[in-house]
Chains A and B, each alone.
Chain A
Amino acid sequence: GAGVSQSPSNKVTEKGKDVELRCDPISGHTALYWYRQSLGQGLEFLIYFQGNSAPDKSGLPSDRFSAERTGGSVSTLTIQRTQQEDSAVYLCASSLGGGHTDTQYFGPGTRLTVL
């Protein structure tokens, strides 16, 4: 079946602009995660959605970052007033049930470049 999809694959924006990144999880997966991969910091957890529960936002680096998940499926990560340090690859993953036992499957990522 189809894997995790993300759009756009690349995004170039100017400092101070807002951006939205989209993730479509694997059909039937209830858990969705966002990670960020940057040269300096490696792979970092950002936020976690599980079903209809309140999201775990403990990994978000600042209040400029937010995310929502509509209808328990598609998720959008929004970065407001982008800064150059936001440049990174943003990866989305989904798992069947969530929690520490499940395998997460990753999408191809969105490469964000802030000029």
Chain B
Amino acid sequence: AQKVTQAQTEISVVEKEDVTLDCVYETRDTTYYLFWYKQPPSGELVFLIRRNSFDEQNEISGRYSWNFQKSTSSFNFTITASQVVDSAVYFCALSERGNYGGSQGNLIFGKGTKLSVKP
């Protein structure tokens, strides 16, 4: 079973539209971290945000916002007033503490959502 599910494979919007990218995760750990990364056409994964499992506060950074809800195991990402430069593949990832507290911290990635923002 997938531990991180990004159900939207591709999304296409017109510039200035708001768009939400969904992420649902599965873990038995009570201590874990969630991440979002952006992969533009150049290919390099760019870190966007890290959130720990004890902090359910929503976060806003400019046009980006994240909604973390443990009750639904979701960590959704919203881009407000999208721009062409937002076009990229976005990955949600999970890092678990592990049974013995000594997790190596390898990231478990979703399959990614390709966002295309048209002018």
Docked CA distance A111–B43 (Å): 10
| Segment 31-54 of A: residues with Cβ below 8 Å from B | 31, 33, 35, 42-43, 45, 48, 50
Given A42-B111, A42-B112, A43-B91, A100:B43 Cβ within 8 A? no
A108 contact set on B, CB distance < 8 A: 42-44
Instruction: Check A102–B44 contact: CB distance below 8 A.
Output: no
Given A43-B91, A89-B43, A109-B44, A104:B107 Cβ within 8 A? yes
Which of A33, A56, A102, A106 lies at the interface centre, i.e. has the most chain B CB atoms within 10 A of its CB?
A106
Q: Does A105 contact B (CB under 8 A)?
A: yes
Instruction: Check A100–B95 contact: CB distance below 8 A.
Output: yes
Instruction: Check B98–A100 contact: CB distance below 8 A.
Output: yes
Kindly identify which residue among A42, A45, A106 contacts B106, using a CB–CB cutoff of 8 Å: A45
Stretch in A65-73, A80-88, A91-99 touching the partner: A91-99
Residues of A within 8 A of B (CB-CB), count: 27
Chain B interface: which size bin? 20 to 34
Instruction: Check B109–A59 contact: CB distance below 8 A.
Output: no
Kindly identify which residue among A45, A59, A101 contacts B33, using a CB–CB cutoff of 8 Å: A101
Docked CA distance A89–B33 (Å): 25
Stretch in B45-53, B62-70, B73-81 touching the partner: B45-53
Kindly identify which residue among B47, B96, B106 contacts A48, using a CB–CB cutoff of 8 Å: B106
Instruction: Check A31–B105 contact: CB distance below 8 A.
Output: yes
Instruction: Check B32–A100 contact: CB distance below 8 A.
Output: yes
Kindly identify which residue among B33, B45, B52, B104 contacts A106, using a CB–CB cutoff of 8 Å: B45
Q: Does A103 contact B (CB under 8 A)?
A: yes
Docked CA distance A101–B34 (Å): 9
Given A42-B111, A103-B35, A98:B105 Cβ within 8 A? yes
* Cβ contacts A to B, 24 pairs, < 8 Å: A33-B106, A42-B109, A42-B111, A42-B112, A43-B107, A45-B107, A93-B45, A93-B107, A99-B102, A99-B104, A100-B95, A100-B103, A101-B33, A101-B105, A102-B105, A103-B35, A103-B50, A104-B47, A105-B47, A106-B47, A108-B42, A109-B43, A109-B44, A111-B43
